Chains A and B, each alone.
Chain A
Amino acid sequence: DAGVIQSPRHEVTEMGQEVTLRCKPISGHNSLFWYRQTMMRGLELLIYFNNNVPIDDSGMPEDRFSAKMPNASFSTLKIQPSEPRDSAVYFCASSHSDRGSNQPQHFGDGTRLSIL
């Protein structure tokens, strides 16, 4: 079975440019999570969706970040304008979630983002 698929795997761009990260969750999973990982701050949850609806975006650093999930098989995380401090590895994860269940989250390979 295909796992969580993220693209691109690597992105290098200049500050001020728009960056779009893409994620395809595992088929049948109804929750999708966007994380950012840095040495300083570890793995941080940015936003998560359940049944395509954003549930908690309290981790989104500021208005420059936005995320969408137009359907069950696709999500985007956009940074506009990008800044050097946004450089990090961005992971997407998905799981099958319902109240009381403990299905694990499965992570994609991540996007390594460098803003120059």
Chain B
Amino acid sequence: GQNIDQPTEMTATEGAIVQINCTYQTSGFNGLFWYQQHAGEAPTFLSYNVLDGLEEKGRFSSFLSRSKGYSYLLLKELQMKDSASYLCAVRPLWDYKLSFGAGTTVTVRA
């Protein structure tokens, strides 16, 4: 199975940058996904990484190091609407399911 760890909570100021770390342990790996979930809503897909390196999508970037079992999600130019839970999820090798971390609740303050 997968053992996925991410911080429980983070707080940052509007306009700042926040980095959410995710570490995982898995016997086989085929991709890491990041989802955003606003309170009372469904998770929505943000990004995925399969190869080592940085993937950038506007204000959001995600990084992966397969050898270290480590990923981070970088949120730049924070806005109030970025206050949400961010879920790290791992897809095992030759499987379709995702194993989700407990999520990191990010609070953006004015």
8 shortest interchain CB distances as A-B pairs: A104-B45, A107-B42, A97-B96, A43-B100, A102-B31, A42-B102, A31-B96, A107-B43
Q: Given the complex of chains A and B, what is the CA–CA distance between A104 and B101 in angstroms?
A: 16
Question: Are B31 and A48 within 8 A (Cβ)?
Answer: no
- Which residues in A have their C-beta under 8 angstroms from that of B98? 33, 45, 105
CB < 8 Å neighbour of B100 from A42, A55, A108, A109: A42
- Known A-B contacts A43-B87, A102-B31, A104-B33; the reply to A50 vs B96 at CB < 8 A is yes
Q: Given the complex of chains A and B, what is the CA–CA distance between A54 and B80 in angstroms?
A: 41
Question: Are A110 and B97 within 8 A (Cβ)?
Answer: no
CB distance from B21 to the nearest CB of A (A): 17
Contact residues of A with B, CB < 8 Å? 31, 33, 42-43, 45, 48, 50, 55-56, 91, 95, 97, 99-100, 102, 104-110
Number of interface residues of B (CB under 8 A): 22
Q: Given the complex of chains A and B, what is the CA–CA distance between A108 and B44 in angstroms?
A: 9
CB distance from B42 to the nearest CB of A (A): 4
CB distance from B89 to the nearest CB of A (A): 8
Q: Which residue of A lies closest to B50 (CB)?
A: A102
B34-63 interface code vs A (CB 8 A; 1 in, 0 out): 000000011111001010000000000000
Question: Are A91 and B43 within 8 A (Cβ)?
Answer: yes
Of the listed residues B50, B94, B98, the one surrounded by the most CB atoms of chain A closer than 10 A to its CB is B98
B93-110 interface code vs A (CB 8 A; 1 in, 0 out): 011111111110000000
Question: Are A43 and B96 within 8 A (Cβ)?
Answer: no
B30: interface (CB < 8 Å): yes
CB < 8 Å neighbour of B43 from A43, A50, A56, A100: A43
Question: Are B44 and A107 within 8 A (Cβ)?
Answer: yes
Task: Provide a sorted-by-A list of 8 A–B residue pairs whose CB atoms are within 8 angstroms.
Answer: A42-B101, A43-B43, A45-B99, A48-B97, A55-B97, A99-B94, A104-B48, A107-B44
CB distance from A68 to the nearest CB of B (A): 18
- Which residues in B have their C-beta under 8 angstroms from that of A110? 42
Q: Given the complex of chains A and B, what is the CA–CA distance between A95 and B31 in angstroms?
A: 15
CB distance from A108 to the nearest CB of B (A): 6
